Structure 1
Amino acid sequence: MTLARFHIPGPLVLLALFGGCHGNQPLEPPTDDGPTLSAVSQKGPSGLVANPLPGAIGLGWQDNSPNETGFEVLRSTTGASGTFTTITTTTAKVTFYTDSGLDPKQQYCYRVQAIGQQKRVIGVSNTVCATPLPLEPLAASKVAAVLLNTWTVQITWTDNSINEDGFRVERAGSDAGPWTTLVSTSPGITSVQDGNSTPSQERVCYRVVAFNKYGDAPPSTTACTAFPFAPTNLVAKAVDGYEVQRCCQTGWIVVANLPVNATTYRDAGLVPNAPYSYTVRAKKDLGFSAYSNYANAITAIAPPSVPVAQAYPASSNIITVSWYDNSGLAETFRVERSFDGGTSWTPFGPTVPGQTYLYDEGRTPEQQVCYRVYASNSLGESGPSNTACTAPPLGPTNLLATTVDYQGINLMWTDNSAVEDGYWVLRYLPFPDDYWIIIAELPASTTSFQDTGLSSETWYSYWVVALKDGGTSDYSNQVDALTDPLPVGAVSRAATSRGRVTAASRGLTPGAPTRRPMKPATTQRSSTMKRH
């Protein structure tokens, strides 16, 4: 500041000349408008991503400010250029938020702004838009109905949903209905058998409806099959004879050439206690007819030995019962079930020749059920197998995922079972792997796990399931979490890949059905899981 004195008639006048710090420039009036635009872009959150969920949208972002007091999440229902209003304010260092209770038919746009002292906006993120997934499950697809024998139809479908409570399989005499419920399954089931059909039903159709507590998905497409009627108007034509073929000690071989009108053949000199298959075709001139059906027989010299049985949960209310014929002499099996630890037994089934497992559906979680199996052939029946017991455990619930740092995520859940042997923690591997892996097997009563050695700034998805006798409960809810950015000077580590789930890894008998399959990947994110 410079003081100047001038001689002017009248009162004394002092002039104060104010200069800037870098020359004789006027001082600008003080301002409290906050940092410049460049400072905003440097300190504001970035990398905002939106992950569609059923009736909700999950948000994640990168915290670039060292001194914010919190973040405001703003939402627009009129597009990216519409009006944004604040829907929540977080504390400092929070980098995720789930906006729930949303309309699956509405698009929502978001941006996040960092807040400093005196509620000053430090910076604003990019804008992202997403539409929530329906609260109702997605419809099942690729329904197929295959005739297994004269009374059983196998129905299969593709599970496209991540939030179904189960599937309702419906049956009708035509694709126009009326429809009746055949069975309701647990979540994740993609196959059932209809053993109540009869050849008198010339045509039978099926459809599958996914459901949860919010309602039903649209019915799937219809799959139909037909039971062929027996042939009529048989016409006899002259043939030169018949050729009998046998399998399988050395592959298919011709064992006999029979004369015209032959209808029986006795195959002698066979190996005892061995299985054989036969087929016949007619001969005419230098050609042959089509083959007959295949007939199977065992050259048993005694009843079969006692089979080996096992039972394990396929879900919280389904039990898989399987058995193994040690002797190789069994032609059929029958199964018995007990709800009182083996004191009393009732028939359970039925089975068809060669069948080696059954699903016992509608079981009460936590309640023990026991099974035993008998094998039989033309010479008699074996004694009962070992008693195989299991209790389907209640599945874990309320799974939560919390980011620990740039390479760690903490998981917590509610243990609802009193009978589980332990827990599997599963993590999704994205493109190009696209499958779930077991990353930990934990003891019973465990309710938390920390996944370490992860990649920075990467989304991870998790499930937890209870274990019992080599099988599993219902799966928990799926959760997602985003690891923090890589600190300066740190080295990023890729998450360790663990082995795939196999029957052998759980000690199941070879050939036995594994526990119910794990769901396919359901994440809606792009194949590149890192945020940008």
Structure 2
Amino acid sequence: MSLLLSVTTPLFGQDGSRKPTKQPRKESSNKRTEIDSENDADDPDLPGSRGLRINKEDYLRRRSEHIRILRGLDSIEELNLKNPRSLAIEEMQYQQRMMRQLDANNQWTVIESATEPGAWKELGPAPIPNGQTTRISTPVSGRVTTIAVHPANPDIVYVGTAQGGLYRSLNGGDSWRQLMDGAKSLAIGAIAISPSNTSTIWVGTGEASFSCSSFFGVGLYRIEDADTDSPKLYGPFNRDGNNNDIFSYRSIGEILVHPTDPNTIFVASASGIGGMGCEAPVGAPIRGLYRSTNAMSPNPKFSPVTISGVNDLSITDMIFEPQNPNKMVISVRGTSFEGGGIYKTNNAISPNPVFTRTLTLGANGTRVRASLSANKIGNTVTIYAATGESGTGACATYRQHGQLRVSTDAGETWSSPIGSANGFCGAQCGYDIAVAVAPDNANNVLLGGSANSICSGVLKRATNGSNFSASDVGLHADTHAIAFAPSNPSVVYTGNDGGVWRSADGGINWTSLNKSGFNATQFMSLALHPTDPNFTIGGTQDNGTQWLRPDGTFVRADFGDGGYAQIDQNAKDSTVVTMYHTYFNAPGAVVGFARVTHTGDAQDYGWEFFGCGGTPNGIGCYDSAVQFYAPMAIGPGNPNSLYFGTDRLYRSSDRGENMAIVSQQFLAGAAITAIGISPQNDKVRIVGLETGKVYRTMNGFPTLEDVTGPIPAYHISRAVIDPKDVNTAYVTLSGYGLASGQHIWKTSNLNAINPSWKPMGNGIPDAPVNAFVVDPANSYNLYAGTDIGVFISTDGGLTWVPFGSGLPVVAVFDMAIQNPARILRIATHGRGLWETSIALNNPPPPPPPPPVDNPINPTGLTAKAVSTTEVDLKWDDNSENETGFIIERCLGAGCSNFSMIAELGTNRTTYSDTGLALATTYSYRVKAFNGAGNSDYSNIATVTTASPPQTQFMLTATTQNASQIYLSWNIPSNNVLGFRIDRCVGAPCTNFTPLVVLGASVSTYIDSGLPSGVTHNYRITAITNNDTIVSNVASATTLANPGAPSNLVAEALSPSQIRLKWVDTSTNEIGFRVERCMGVGCENFTQIALVGTDTTEIIDIGLVANTTYNYRVLAFNGTGVSAYSNIATATTLFINGIPAAPSNLRLVFASSNRIDVAWDDNAENEMWFELVHQIRGERYGRVVYLSPNTTFFSTTGLNRLTTYYYRIRACNSNGCSPYSAEIPATTK
């Protein structure tokens, strides 16, 4: 086996989104990542204190793409689907109504009591008490996107969240109430209070923050009596006069309500999933400014407002001149040549208002977002515009963006940028940008941006309109909203990625309002303790890894973003607990996980990071692909085996300290997205890829087999093996656009050469399934977490229905069962953790529409005992329409208490029942099933397993480890008085000596303290009243350390690569450790790789030219390590001159947002490539740095119908070649 460590991957650059295709991704998951040690130094999302550094813009883009796939957005865009999530929600709600009708007829039980199984309970965190906040730690929750304060009461405030819905407080944030749990979208983009009827508010869904985690919406909702005890929710409203949907799959950037006419409202429509490397779905409605003149009617209609020069562009913000709705100012996100900038009209209420662009934004082809705030004192109207324009000076050098301009003539003219605000929103001005001016003083201004860095800041304050300084103590990074109370400007609210805060002194000091009842945390994962019903950890977006402690309270256990989480299931208490979690993963920078073995270390700086970027443990830095949140799984054993996925599967038996490769590289550029390990047998494994491929091994063999079969080519989100049957497995799919029932696939013969996969999601609407669990108490009970809620099957997947009551329509990303307490706990992306109790036996779901006929029953069942522990069954399949067969078994002849032992696929006629007791009688029967029902049973077949050979009695010896051998035997008669064990050493040997004398009822013994690698022979004498009985001789050899590798040879292949080869002299290693040091005669060796068994060759890459390296290798297994091999030395090749220029640069593929190019590599000594693409007229192009030997690159996130010009050159430490000939490439 040859392990090639050299891979062709881009070093830095843009990447795009995976489409539902079986081709590997060529962008995001195989990209090495730019390291930036300066920018975003104080960003809480990035665990920088561990040295895990990544540029924040690249970080946000990679995270957004990961979540985009989980939410199914790729498939919506690729397949041009129309409102699939809304349709799925409507189907789920129809099912719920049907269940209630059945309940009225006593055919179904609807959950009414909060303590019944299926009644969902919100756990929180509400709040996270120790948030990742500035200078001091304050409570946090989750991302707040927009805030509206009552015009006459500063204590009445409405707060919109990213995926948690709309919250209201009537007491200044001391308590909160959720107002939109029943809405089809919980992504809130805008809130407006009707000035003439302040009990009516408008809520725009879809977050206009231009990241792929800022999700689209379904239009507008109207809430009447919003400030009373009985608010009424109406909507969504999203239709024009011709009944066309104009808002679904867009976001709402702002809503304005006429100050005296509640029927007239304006709506700013923007991209729902634009920016950061992705675009809105193809075919989504036209963006722009819309107006309704019958807003308070039961079905308000909206019509577009024409703005000259602006066509299908996002309106990110808009304001009325205070008390004058005819004068309106809006911001348009676009380039300078397509209409980007700030516009004003003086006749907004007229049928055809005329807008004039008064400030052009978007120079050099960039799209710039702007946020607006207005103040009117006397006749002077002051407007501030916070924009995403490039910074200047040092801020430009460090790519810090953001400018603030002011107009003192109601938006007719604009000032130059205000110097002290330069660069305030850093590298992500499309995501976090906010400005607010006090209603009573045009000089009191608050400006919100990114994390504190060279220029950017969480929140800045000026009292003279120009000199800004930080005012952010206790605030979380990434500000999205600032709102002064109109009736009391001393009261200010602000919202960011951590939640909502209030100031009572105009923005000087801040108090967290993240309290009980306000739950907006976006969980990615969870993991449960084996015995404690509360103990849970889970990764969250923006707010670290959370720990629900045994006392039921939350605390943040680690900083950074939180991804996957696992808890070792051998924990005996709630203190000595081994826990794992990931932060994020970026090839070439950070690939691995963090671990603690004691809860006292579960805090900032207490976790040890293992892998690339931390303590080396064998996980490669440059595997060709890895998910942003790379999957982890645990298997059986003590400690639990630990698995981690990149483009290959890693396994550890020592809590992650050494990760051995236990698979092939499945497909270059394609990352593992799901790992399933049998709880019964650690060698039974399945993995799913982002391409839709599924692989398995039944015996731990490191080359897994492709068993994809008919499963569609969608992102595999979960892979699960039945905890009671190693041959039954499930995979679930993300995305939209699948046929009915195809988001879940099941096989009951995973061990077959070609397992039979069948769709098993009947009843689940077309929505991503990102969480899945099999009830360990009853394998018929299955639970699925989808993008719209939780579903249950009580018949092994044949039918599904919505599960429980009280859960909002929210995306579920993970779920697990705490079996001792019988609790199902889920992690939602926007509403924190929820749980419900689950019964041992659930009521059956309503039957699906039946096929024409039930299947015909099988006949001719026979049972044959083929060993002491195995019975082979065979029957005749008489049906043409069965879905599969169910095998049932009971103990004894004539028994009647049959129970299911296996479910098989269609056309099966044999089954092997293993793991049985010797000399025991069993009875079997078989039936066929399909959607219509079950056939009659077959005949009953009875069989008795074989007895052991009839010797005096049978002794077996089994190796336990390097120093122990396990002996077992059967007791030969009823009158045994005791046993004597004799032993001799060596093979063969006859000089037995007594070892130990044991009592008459003993039938096992462990011989301990033995030398490793030595054969021991045993016999047992049974002592009776009349005689002695001597057993057979049984032998076993203790485990030995592996033999040392030999004949290590090092060969320089290039200026940056050395190939290592060695001879494997051992037969019992589980892997090899490769060590290296630099320099002639060096001795400071460090580990550079862990590779799997039988590996005899690797290539070490990324080396320094003309430099000598020494290498050595040792083998290891569960017993210990071998001696080192010989030391091999090689010197990398000398680079002579600059590399030859690449040639034949050519267009390979173009779509609406993607261009693929390829070229010929003519050099032998390049160290990197520089690929440049730009739009004609741009001052600077985008440079992408690529690793040597690369000949292809894909650029995504491009503008439609735009021509880009490409050129490329090769470089090394001596310089760069000339550029290739430039080529044009145009998107469609």
What TM-score results when the alignment is normalised by the length of structure 2?
A: 0.16
- Normalising by structure 1, we get a TM-score of 0.32
Bigger radius of gyration: 1
Structure with more of its chain in strand, by fraction: 1
